[in-house]
Structure 1
Amino acid sequence: MHQSLIMDDKTRSIISLILFLLLTIPARAQRTTTETPTTKFIFRGFNGSESDIRTQGAAMIKPDGLLRLTDRNQNVVGTAFYNKPVRLLDTNNTSSTNNTVRSFSTSFVFVIIPSSSSNGGFGFTFALSPTPYRPGADPEQFLGLLNKDNDGNSTNHVFAVEFDTVQGFKDGADSSGNHIGLNFNSLKSAYQEPVVYYDNDGPNRKEDFRLQSGEPIRAHLDYDGPTQTLNFTVYPAKSRSRPIRPLISQLPVPNLSQIVQEEMYVGFTAATGRESSAHYVMGWSFSSGGDRPIADTLELSELPPAPPNKAKKGGYNSQVIALIVALSGVTVILLALLFFFSMYKKRLQQGEILEDWEINHPHRLRYKDLFAATDGFSEDRIIGTGGFGTVFRGNIASSPSNQIAVKKITPNSMQGVREFIAEIESLGRLRHKNLVNLQGWCKHKNDLLLIYDYIPNGSLDSLLYSVPRRSGAVLSWNVRFQIAKGIASGLLYLHEEWEQIVIHRDVKPSNVLIESDMNPRLGDFGLARLYERGSQSNTTVVVGTIGYMAPELARNGKSSSASDVFAFGVLLLEIVSGRRPTDSGTFFLADWVMELHASNEIIRAVDPRLGSGYDEREAKLALGMGLLCCHQRPASRPSMRMVLRYMNGDEDVPQIDDNWGYSDSSSRSEIGSKFEGYVSSDRASGSVASFSVTRISSSSVMSGR
């Protein structure tokens, strides 16, 4: 019995030991698990992460998934922290000096875009903070992390990796503006290195690059708690692999344990100042706890696209800009005064006084520029010859298309001078898509020059007659009809839509130039007259070209918008028929078309070269419209506004009455004799863009203008 009692005591001891172990081991395991929590997250872009990231200030999550810390506005702060605190401190001892910072690792891809190609600032930080916000933090050198009052204060409990793009706060004169720094409770970096990475082709081969390049950049931070070693690496994201050698490697980092509290928040801060940059984070991963935590790798292909690298122009603040503008303004005024004084002195020396028309029309080009643009007015540059001058093609940088047409007025021609002034006064102020644009003028000694847009397709006259003879290429019906409508639109602008009434007085195919897209432009305003609305034209001299001149000009010589309509009517018949308005005197186009109309055969007037490739309805409309515009009585002719309505099909063309026609051929002869000596046929070359004017005696022009 004694033996059994002894065995019972031993059994009870063993049982008690087993129970003790069973109860205490799980408790210790549970406590160990509680004391060593891990944090791990990865953001491959930030769409849908609004609840996981706390943003403040200028920071925001963009619709494209980028985390923007700041835009390029001046003096702004932006912060973005992970929403949950991270347990980073082991407190196994009562003394805070023996606390250990747990191992952690982070990786992120960022982009910094400066305001201009040379200026930007101030940078951003990756930070450990006791709070998810940085209240009271300042912009500029304080990077949205601290301010001038708490900088360096041991109660901050802030650790930051500083990505600085300007010279750092409290940095020495030898500090680089493009650097990485490790900051402990202060913006003064305890460790600092210029931004480089070590090429894996050689362990000591350094490659530098700019943080604010506008290109994606990778950053890796690894802290080993047991050894207190911190390794930091930064390099362009386009590099093939992560450098083996880090940019910063510090062993140990003892003061980190004095900063880190039991729970910390991880995130980013950024700021701008008078200099500014946009700061973006494309992706971010973090891991802490465990033996050697490693943050997950971020693949560029899995991240949102990098923001466009579009730097704002100008990197000066408003005061500098104001000073530059003020100095520039003073300089311009002084130079202008010097220029006008020099010109005035030169005029006095030459005994030349500017006329009124020269003062009122300032688009004057320099003769030497035009001389150079036309290779000294070389014969190889000639593209047309008219009654009062020669047209040259030129190349000049100040022209919108780099090409110009320069009309050189024939010297010692009084009519040429009058035409020169007339074109400047009229065409110089007109702007319409169906009018030739006068770019400027030049008066040099006896040379008078007019500068126009160069129009490569030449004149309508050449496209109707010369080109088909050379190459067989005939204008299609659609092109002809659109050209006619364009000319009508230009005349409507002259007659009704500009501030004054402009009578062209020389509407004909050689004065219509065709652009590359077949848009017509009416030019050659040397015979044009301007007068105020409500007043009457007092011109009494007959000018124009035989075949396009209205019959009333033979009686009173007074041109009007109706006489322009008559010329347009002849031109319209010419476009449809492909025949000139008159020959040696036995054929008149309008009479011929009227005869066909009277015999219900008007469609025979269509250019036979078109074959069946035309719209019969439009052809009949155009021929009827041409006859109506050529009516013998001016009051029976439609306005150009009505012409366009008829051609657009908005209204039907009225019937031509029996009293439309010209009188017999004797009347024609009378008109011809009346004009003889005052008017001749157009002698301009029709193969190229020309700006010719019908020759008229100088005496008639002087008395009529």
Structure 2
Amino acid sequence: MYVGFTGATGKLVEGNKILSWSFSNSNFSIGHALVTTNLPSFVIPQESVFRSNGFVIGVSVGAVLIVVCGIVIWAVLVRKKREKTEGKEEIKDWELQYWPHRISYQEVYAVTMGFSEENVIGFGANGKVYKGVLLGVEVAVKRISVESEHGMREFLAEVSSLGRLKHKNLVGLRGWSKKEKENLILIYDYMENGSLDKRIFDCDESLILSWEEMIKVLKGVASGILYLHEGWESEVLHRDIKASNVLLDKDMNARLGDFGLARMHHHEELATTTQVIGTPGYMAPEVVRTGQASTQTDVFSFGILVLEVVCGRRPIEDGKPNLLDWLCMLIERGDLLSALDDRIKAKGGYSVEEVEGVVNLGFLCAYPDANERPTMRQVLKVLEEERLDVNLLERIETTLKLSGSREHPTFNLSSYASLATSDIILEGR
């Protein structure tokens, strides 16, 4: 026979306890009946667990934690959904076409320490420029105001032109960012030696460019402009070439920047520009008259830049003759060497022939008749060979009337210099 116990409940769970047991294989009538008295009590009287303080406190705390976690999860999901939705709404078709990648506004805000005034390194027409470090690399962050239509046009021009250009003598555009209804942001390579303008007019004499450094800078700028005009699938007109838009990297290589006024079009097509835009003193006569821009208007601006760098004088200064008229007077007196910046003279390393050649080249580039100006390819060839091509030299002598009589050159900005500075309202594209 088998003796055992069972407490089967099927699929239900139940606790069973055996408090004691006895067994007999004899007749129960003889006095060997099972002992069923004085057994331990199974039921222990106690207070209900549901009424205990611990249970109440535990349930209350748990409920609060569940509610708090639910709110946090809901807030995170809603925020992610909102960011995803807003991101889709903000990204326009044009934003997907260009190489510079978009950088989050939070990241840009962090690298500039919240656009701290301590990080300001420059000022543009539509905003400030800040220094920052992005992914271990120093960058310049340009914040453009969206309050003016010019700001948006400048931003689009920079991204659509500089964003697709790559050349050693152009400032590199690393990326862009924007915060709706507040800021448009461009992130560039940081140029350790600042702008050419500061190296000419706002630095210690020890930092003034030597003749050799000056020629190197002019070659770099000319190379960058040539790339814009001929080296890409479209022809790009910079339209604002000037000393403050030429930046110098750690090796003193020139980088042309600020493409806020740039226009691009297919080669052999005329640019459809009709508004007078640019910087007074650097604008070609045809731009002042008609607003029409071309590669030759960039050549004119480069010519003014050459003369400005060599002479250490701005194109237009209050109370002084404009740069070109002043140079014409020196040429008339046969004293062209006096045009050279005294600080460059003090450093030496040049010849009279080199100075005259570069000044004459600047004059030819800035000639009033656009058809008489050389191309940037010819200009770069002159600078690289450090001598004037025979044909160019003949054109310069003829143009400036220096081959015989020392007459005052037929070159004068007086007719439009005043117009450019007072009567023209500069507008964006």
Q: 1:632·1:661 contact (CA, 8 Å) conserved in 2?
A: no
Residue aligning to 1:594 = 328
The CA deviation string for residues 186-231 of structure 1, in whole angstroms up to 9 with x for no partner, is xxxxxxxxxxxxxxxxxxxxxxxxxxxxxxxxxxxxxxxxxxxxxx
1:590 deviation in Å? 1.6
Q: 2:324·2:412 contact (CA, 8 Å) conserved in 1?
A: no
User: Take 1:670 and 1:412, find their aligned partners in 2: how far apart are those partners?
Assistant: 28
Residue aligning to 1:439 = 174
Q: 1:453 aligns with which of 169, 186, 189?
A: 189
User: Take 1:463 and 1:367, find their aligned partners in 2: how far apart are those partners?
Assistant: 33
Q: 1:392 aligns with which of 126, 130, 140?
A: 130
Residue aligning to 1:404 = 139
Residue aligning to 2:150 = 415
Is 1:568 matched up with 2:338? no
The CA deviation string for residues 401-422 of structure 1, in whole angstroms up to 9 with x for no partner, is x111000112412110110010
Give SS of 1:620's match. Answer: helix
User: Take 1:455 and 1:349, find their aligned partners in 2: how far apart are those partners?
Assistant: 34
User: Take 1:349 and 1:527, find their aligned partners in 2: how far apart are those partners?
Assistant: 30
Residue aligning to 2:203 = 467
Q: 1:530 aligns with which of 264, 274, 279?
A: 264
Residue aligning to 1:377 = 115
Is 1:556 matched up with 2:290? yes
Residue aligning to 2:372 = 636
Residue aligning to 1:268 = none
Is 1:358 matched up with 2:95? yes
Could you list the runs of 4 or more consecutive aligned residues of structure 1 that deviate by over 6 angstroms after TM superposition? 342-345
The CA deviation string for residues 656-698 of structure 1, in whole angstroms up to 9 with x for no partner, is 32576444734433444442x32xxxxxxxxxxxxxxxxx4xx
Residue aligning to 1:488 = 222
Give SS of 2:285's match. Answer: coil
Give SS of 2:202's match. Answer: helix
Scaled by the length of structure 1, the TM-score of the pair is 0.45
The CA deviation string for residues 223-245 of structure 1, in whole angstroms up to 9 with x for no partner, is xxxxxxxxxxxxxxxxxxxxxxx
The CA deviation string for residues 413-433 of structure 1, in whole angstroms up to 9 with x for no partner, is 211011001000000011111
Give SS of 2:200's match. Answer: helix
Q: How does 1:17-32 map to 2 (within 5 A)?
A: none
Q: How does 1:127-526 map to 2 (within 5 A)?
A: 346=83, 348=85, 352-361=89-98, 363-397=101-135, 402-445=137-180, 446-468=182-204, 472-526=206-260
**Structure 2 residue runs without a partner (length 5+):** 1-78, 402-408
Q: 1:507·1:567 contact (CA, 8 Å) conserved in 2?
A: yes
Cα distance, 1:382–1:345 mapped onto 2, change above 3 Å: closer
Cα distance, 1:597–1:443 mapped onto 2, change above 3 Å: same
Residue aligning to 1:583 = 317
Cα distance, 1:387–1:486 mapped onto 2, change above 3 Å: same
Percent sequence identity over aligned pairs: 43
Cα distance, 1:451–1:570 mapped onto 2, change above 3 Å: same
Which shifted more, 591-600 or 500-509? Answer: 591-600
1:584 deviation in Å? 1.8
Cα distance, 1:345–1:674 mapped onto 2, change above 3 Å: same
1:452 deviation in Å? 0.2
Give SS of 1:648's match. Answer: helix
1:553 deviation in Å? 1.0
1:356 deviation in Å? 2.2
User: Take 1:408 and 1:367, find their aligned partners in 2: how far apart are those partners?
Assistant: 11
1:540 counterpart letter in structure 2: T
User: Take 1:447 and 1:458, find their aligned partners in 2: how far apart are those partners?
Assistant: 24
1:513 deviation in Å? 0.5
Q: 1:357·1:421 contact (CA, 8 Å) conserved in 2?
A: no
Larger radius of gyration: 1
Residue aligning to 1:622 = 358
1:421 counterpart letter in structure 2: L
Q: 1:562·1:639 contact (CA, 8 Å) conserved in 2?
A: yes
User: Take 2:361 and 2:208, find their aligned partners in 1: how far apart are those partners?
Assistant: 23
Scaled by the length of structure 2, the TM-score of the pair is 0.73
The CA deviation string for residues 380-417 of structure 1, in whole angstroms up to 9 with x for no partner, is 111111210111100111x6xx1110001124121101
1:636 counterpart letter in structure 2: E
User: Take 1:590 and 1:667, find their aligned partners in 2: how far apart are those partners?
Assistant: 12
2:239 counterpart letter in structure 1: R
User: Take 1:508 and 1:664, find their aligned partners in 2: how far apart are those partners?
Assistant: 17
The CA deviation string for residues 58-113 of structure 1, in whole angstroms up to 9 with x for no partner, is xxxxxxxxxxxxxxxxxxxxxxxxxxxxxxxxxxxxxxxxxxxxxxxxxxxxxxxx
1:559 counterpart letter in structure 2: A
1:586 deviation in Å? 4.3
Give SS of 2:177's match. Answer: strand
Give SS of 1:352's match. Answer: helix
Cα distance, 1:670–1:381 mapped onto 2, change above 3 Å: closer
Aligned Cα root-mean-square deviation (Å)? 2.2
User: Take 2:138 and 2:98, find their aligned partners in 1: how far apart are those partners?
Assistant: 22
Q: 2:281·2:420 contact (CA, 8 Å) conserved in 1?
A: no
1:367 deviation in Å? 1.2
Cα distance, 1:425–1:622 mapped onto 2, change above 3 Å: same
Give SS of 2:251's match. Answer: coil
Give SS of 2:167's match. Answer: coil
More helix by share: 2
User: Take 2:252 and 2:314, find their aligned partners in 1: how far apart are those partners?
Assistant: 21
Give SS of 1:569's match. Answer: helix
Q: 2:271·2:293 contact (CA, 8 Å) conserved in 1?
A: yes
1:390 counterpart letter in structure 2: K
The CA deviation string for residues 415-463 of structure 1, in whole angstroms up to 9 with x for no partner, is 1011001000000011111100000100122211000001111000111
Q: 2:157·2:260 contact (CA, 8 Å) conserved in 1?
A: yes
Q: 1:365·1:441 contact (CA, 8 Å) conserved in 2?
A: yes
User: Take 1:369 and 1:437, find their aligned partners in 2: how far apart are those partners?
Assistant: 19
1:385 counterpart letter in structure 2: F
**Structure 1 residue runs without a partner (length 5+):** 1-341, 679-695
Q: 1:594·1:627 contact (CA, 8 Å) conserved in 2?
A: no
Q: 1:565·1:640 contact (CA, 8 Å) conserved in 2?
A: yes
More strand by share: 1
